[in-house]
């Protein structure tokens, strides 16, 4: 933690190194080490008026279809994490298009592939979102329900692929769907086939320590929202409650003869300076075999080629689940 504060301490220049001369210039990097650089990404599609550019503070939120399939048998929904973006989180370095759009369709020919965006920045130069975890989960539930209804896919099997905080959003959205008094909103729970968690801090992460650092030390914003970081504190009661409720839900489904698949991936490599963001213990479910990806927390969801072993491992789970869906249909 002291090392992290030293790196971010304002007014004190850090020596440049030959290997990475900009390493200690936080204004040029992500506001959080867990996810992509917040600078505009060439593959990012922003919402808002088509003329005159996006208004200040706009964010590409909601559902975006990456690949449509008229006769799809399954929907696969990607959900990013803290400070992420529905496009750039899933876009490899040097690429301009998210890999779920380019690499998955040839492998999963009967899948409709969508990505979901929400404002999960903790620091902004303008105004930071005040949404809490439950707000993002509620929006995901409503937006996804509306999207699926618009294409007559309300009863289609659904798979989530979630990175980091996105996994917590998905878990809470499914739990809210399960007990929702409105019948049309229970469809997400009824149709969810499985969830792939990628570096999701089910038991917290050290990145919650960022909440203890003065905003002025971060150097890139005046407006903050630390409520999303609060939930990531180790031993946080809400985090524990979500995990207990979700695990209990899985057990009840299994007793009733329904299988909700779960696969957990965790990072093998540390981020420079910061180390590993989510530990193996926090990123995995008890009773499930964890799978590693040879990358750090940020890059574990960025695949440039179908030949990358991390992509092959992820694809293997999706193909297996899609095959099970096909047999059930």
**pLDDT one-digit tens code per residue, 147-196:** 999 999 999 999 999 999 999 999 999 999 999 999 999 999 999 999 99
Tell me what pLDDT residue 84 has: 87
Tokens of 283: 């990123």
Mean pLDDT for 124-149 is: 82
Query: What gap in Å lies between CA 215 and CA 9, rounded to an integer?
Result: 10
Query: What gap in Å lies between CA 57 and CA 76, rounded to an integer?
Result: 28
* Contact assessment for residue 217 and residue 8, using Cβ atoms and an 8 Å cutoff: yes
Residue 208 has pLDDT above 80, yes or no: no
**β-bridge pairing 62-67 and 111-117:** antiparallel
Query: 209-226 in b/e burial notation, b at 16+ Cβ within 10 A?
Result: bbeeeebeebbebebbbb
Contacts by 276-282 with C-beta closer than 8 Å and gap 24+? 277/33, 277/34, 277/164, 277/199, 277/201, 277/205, 277/206, 277/207, 278/164, 278/199, 278/200, 278/201, 278/205, 278/207, 279/205, 281/203, 282/201, 282/202, 282/203, 282/204, 282/205
For 221-283, the three-class secondary structure string (H helix, E strand, C coil) is: CCEECCHHHHCCCCCCHHHHHHHHHHHHHHHHHHHCCCCCEEEEEEECCCECCCECCCCHHHH
At 329, is the pLDDT very low, low, confident or very high (cuts 50, 70, 90)?
Answer: low
CA 37 from centroid of its chain's CA atoms: 15
Mean pLDDT for 196-212 is: 72
Question: 């030959």: which residue's tokens?
Answer: 18
Tell me what pLDDT residue 272 has: 83
At 8, is the pLDDT very low, low, confident or very high (cuts 50, 70, 90)?
Answer: very low
Find the range with the poorest average confidence among 111-125, 164-178, 288-302: 111-125
Residue 308 has pLDDT above 90, yes or no: yes
Mean pLDDT for 261-280 is: 90
Tokens of 234: 């180790």
Residue 322 has pLDDT above 70, yes or no: yes
Residue 296 has pLDDT above 70, yes or no: yes
Residue length, the chain?
A: 329
Nearby residues of 268 by Cβ (< 8 Å), 6 or more positions away: 292, 293, 294, 295
At 217, is the pLDDT very low, low, confident or very high (cuts 50, 70, 90)?
Answer: very low
At 327, is the pLDDT very low, low, confident or very high (cuts 50, 70, 90)?
Answer: confident
Tell me what pLDDT residue 228 has: 66
Tell me what pLDDT residue 242 has: 93
- Separation of first and last alpha carbons in the chain: 52
More reliable by pLDDT, 236 or 10: 236
More reliable by pLDDT, 140 or 328: 140
Residues of the chain with pLDDT > 70: what percent?
70
Going from the C-alpha of 89 to that of each of 6, 36, 96, the distances in angstroms are: 28, 6, 11
Tell me what pLDDT residue 135 has: 92
Residue 325 has pLDDT above 90, yes or no: no
* Contact assessment for residue 110 and residue 322, using Cβ atoms and an 8 Å cutoff: yes
Tell me what pLDDT residue 215 has: 41
- 261 forms beta bridges with 194
Mean pLDDT for 191-210 is: 81
Tokens of 226: 């630390």
- Residue 76 sits at φ, ψ, to 5 deg, of -115, 120
Find the range with the poorest average confidence among 14-23, 218-227, 270-279, 304-313: 14-23
* Contact assessment for residue 176 and residue 137, using Cβ atoms and an 8 Å cutoff: yes
Over residues 42-97, the pLDDT tens digits come to 433 333 322 233 344 567 899 999 999 999 999 999 999 988 899 999 999 999 99
Tell me what pLDDT residue 204 has: 77
Mean of all residue pLDDT scores within the chain = 79
More reliable by pLDDT, 107 or 124: 107
For the domain made up of 61-328, the CATH class stated in words is: alpha beta
CB-CB neighbours of 310 under 10 Å? 20
């Amino acid at each position: 933690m002291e090392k992290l504060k030293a790196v971010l301490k304002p007014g004190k220049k850090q020596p440049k190194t030959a290997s990475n001369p900009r390493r200690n210039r936080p204004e040029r990097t992500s506001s959080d080490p867990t996810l992509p650089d917040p600078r505009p990404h060439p593959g990012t599609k922003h919402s808002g008026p088509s003329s005159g550019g996006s208004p200040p503070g706009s964010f590409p939120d909601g559902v975006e279809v990456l690949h449509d399939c008229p006769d799809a048998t399954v929907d696969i929904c990607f959900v990013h994490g803290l400070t992420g973006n529905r496009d750039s989180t899933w876009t490899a370095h040097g690429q301009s298009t998210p890999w779920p759009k380019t690499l998955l369709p040839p492998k999963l020919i009967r899948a409709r592939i969508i990505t979901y965006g929400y404002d999960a920045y903790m620091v902004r130069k303008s105004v930071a979102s005040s949404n809490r975890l439950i707000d993002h989960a509620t929006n995901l539930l409503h937006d996804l329900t509306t999207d699926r209804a618009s294409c007559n896919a309300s009863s289609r099997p659904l798979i989530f692929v979630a990175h980091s905080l996105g996994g917590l959003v998905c878990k809470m959205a499914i739990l809210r769907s399960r007990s929702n008094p409105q019948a049309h909103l229970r469809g997400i729970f009824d149709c969810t086939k499985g969830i792939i968690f990628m570096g999701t801090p089910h038991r917290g992460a050290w990145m919650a320590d960022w909440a203890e650092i003065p905003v002025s030390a971060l150097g890139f914003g005046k407006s903050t929202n630390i409520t999303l970081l609060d939930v990531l504190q180790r031993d946080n009661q809400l985090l524990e409650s979500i995990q207990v409720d979700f695990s209990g839900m899985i057990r009840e489904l299994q007793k009733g003869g329904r299988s909700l698949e779960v696969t957990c991936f965790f990072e093998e490599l540390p981020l420079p300076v910061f180390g590993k963001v989510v530990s193996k213990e926090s990123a995995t479910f008890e009773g499930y075999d964890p799978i590693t990806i040879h990358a750090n927390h940020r890059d574990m969801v960025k695949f440039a080629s179908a030949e990358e072993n991390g992509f092959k491992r992820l694809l293997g789970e999706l193909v297996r689940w899609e095959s099970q869906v096909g047999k059930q249909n």
